[in-house]
A and B are shown apart, each in its own frame.
Chain A
Amino acid sequence: QITLKESGPTLVRPTETLTLTCTVSGLSLLSAGAGVGWIRQSPGKAPEWLALIYWDDHKRYNPSLQTRLAVSMDTSKNQVVLTMTYVDPVDSGTYFCALVGGLWAQWFGPWGQGTLVAVSS
């Protein structure tokens, strides 16, 4: 069984950098075709795809946030890390990581439980 779990701060100050970690169990991130995506969701809004990274370190970003995002892998810990710079209160919400369907199939499943992040001074 493949499971994902997000971790990170619950409160971040405006203009600071947010760092979130996704720990994957049941699948090596180095497995051919493996990929992990990040999606966030604010109350009452549609989920928003942020970024994804594949086993070969290929990365894709949402163009609207690309200048503020960076995604990386720590293969020794089987983790994916997302950093977001210069956060603003509008970045508050629940952040999920999820397994990507494949290199040519960017659907998401399974998902982690999500981690709630508030951006406030």
Chain B
Amino acid sequence: EIVLTQSPGTLSLSPGDRAALSCRASENLGNDYLAWYRQKPGQAPTLLIYGASSRATGIPDRFSGSGSGTDFTLTISRLEPEDFALYFCQQYSISPYTFGQGTRLEV
């Protein structure tokens, strides 16, 4: 199965800062089938990005996704208080669909 490695494990920033989260796949993701999720404490994950760079419905434009092949990045341009949470990437190129272990964004 495809293994997704996210880095860093924890990212410490302040509101208003720019954040860059990395997700590296063990194999090339055909069609750039990669999604990003944000999970606030005690809540279910929320889809942010699909297809590596397409924002999901209702997601603000401070979130952007980039990358292709095996290296992908989620960028948050100006951190809001609600953005301090756990972020996961997920590939849907090849079954089984797998998730990364997460990056925790903390104040």
Residues of A within 8 Å of B102, CB to CB, are 46
With A45-B101, A109-B46: A63-B96 Cβ-Cβ less than 8 Å: yes
Tell me the complex Cα distance, A58–B88, Å: 27
CB within 8 Å for A107 and B44 given contacts A48-B99, A49-B99 = no
Smallest Cβ-Cβ distance to B43: which chain A residue: A113
Tell me the minimal C-beta distance from A113 to chain B in angstroms. 6
Nearest A residue to B95 via CB reads A60
CB < 8 Å: which of B33, B37, B95 contacts A105? B33
**Contact of A109 (CB < 8 Å), options: B33, B56, B96:** B56
Q: How far is the CB of B40 from chain A (nearest CB, A)?
A: 12
Chain A residues within 8 Å of chain B by Cβ, number: 22
Decide if B33 touches A49 in the complex (CB within 8 Å).
no
The chain A residue with its CB closest to the CB of B59 is A109
Whether B46 lies near A111 (C-beta < 8 A) is yes
Instruction: Give the distance in Å from the alpha carbon of A47 to the alpha carbon of B37 in the complex.
Output: 11
**Taking beta carbons and an 8 Å cutoff, which residues of B are in contact with A?**
33, 35, 37, 43-47, 50-51, 56, 88, 90, 92, 95-102
Could you tell me which A residues sit within 8 Å of B by CB distance? 45-49, 60, 62-64, 96, 98, 101, 105-114
New contact pairs (19) apart from A49-B90, A64-B96, A107-B92, CB-CB < 8 Å: A46-B88, A47-B45, A47-B99, A49-B98, A98-B44, A101-B92, A105-B33, A106-B33, A106-B92, A107-B35, A107-B47, A108-B45, A108-B90, A109-B37, A110-B47, A111-B44, A112-B44, A113-B43, A113-B44
